[in-house]
Amino acid sequence: MRSLMRECRHCSGDYMEIDIYPVRKISKSRKAKYKPSSETQKKLNQKNAARRLTWLIQENFGTNDYYIGLNYPAEYDVNLAEADKLLKNWLRRIKRKYQKAGFEFKYITTTEIGDKKHRPHHHIICSGELGASIMRQEWDKQFEAYKKKPSTSFSHAKHLQFTRTGLAGIAFYTCKDPSLAYRSYNCSKNLRRPEAENRDGRISGKKLQELRSDCFNAEEFEKLYPGYEFVDADPYWDLYGIDENGEAEKIEMPHITIRMFRRDSKYILRDRDRL
């Protein structure tokens, strides 16, 4: 069965990730289509579920935007239903303030249950035009009676910091449970969603194997994608699945994922710029 190599690109902000993998011909019609093998597609889906949130953040937010944590006082008895209501009310109030000031409010939220005390808390990534103090004040004022001193706060905020590896760290922390990595967050409807760009046939099977065998060769990757700086590449050497008998079986998957960022980016911190 005829096969060829596909480059699947996802660009998000100044970042780009490329998956290169084999696809096979599935139709003899005049406009034959190609699709990955079932095992290849399954593995790609699992990986992309965890990466999708990273792309969404990188496409929609910048260095003036915030990563915010919202917590509850220890003495405040809260369940998931009430936590959801309080979060929605907080978002509604913040959105009104942004609209009044003439700004668009964008956000991504997730609610997590603590491992030890099993209490809910929230992670927010959101627009930062009005500053973090408004966000914190709107949350903290609900719990004035629980403050032990005036400076007590039940929220914290920091600016998003973009490094060579993007915001994968925040995205993966926000959605720790891999089974929920794609569906466990909520977001505003005004977010731009990065679309995949596929190109077939430019990379040969031989070239793919060369890239997989020398995955630290930055010069080779940067030659393939001019204008971008190489970050890293994952050649997927040892992948295993479970067969129908419950036994581990090796999955043949000649696949590589490459991460890069725009060489002319003004906001991505290179390693030398980090404190």
The highest-level CATH class for domain 66-159 is alpha beta
- How confident is the prediction for the chain on average, in pLDDT? 84
pLDDT at residue 182, rounded to an integer: 40
pLDDT at residue 254, rounded to an integer: 79
Pick the residue with more confidence: 52 or 40? 52
Q: What is the pLDDT of residues 130-153, one digit of tens each?
A: 999 999 999 999 999 988 888 899
pTM (global) more than 0.85 = no
Would you list the domain boundaries of the chain? 3-25+35-49+196-273, 66-159
pLDDT at residue 169, rounded to an integer: 77
**Residue 221 CB contacts under 8 Å (≥ 6 apart), including other chains:** 211, 230, 233, 258, 260
Question: Using CA atoms, how far apart are residues 127 and 131, in angstroms rounded to an integer?
Answer: 9
pLDDT at residue 150, rounded to an integer: 84
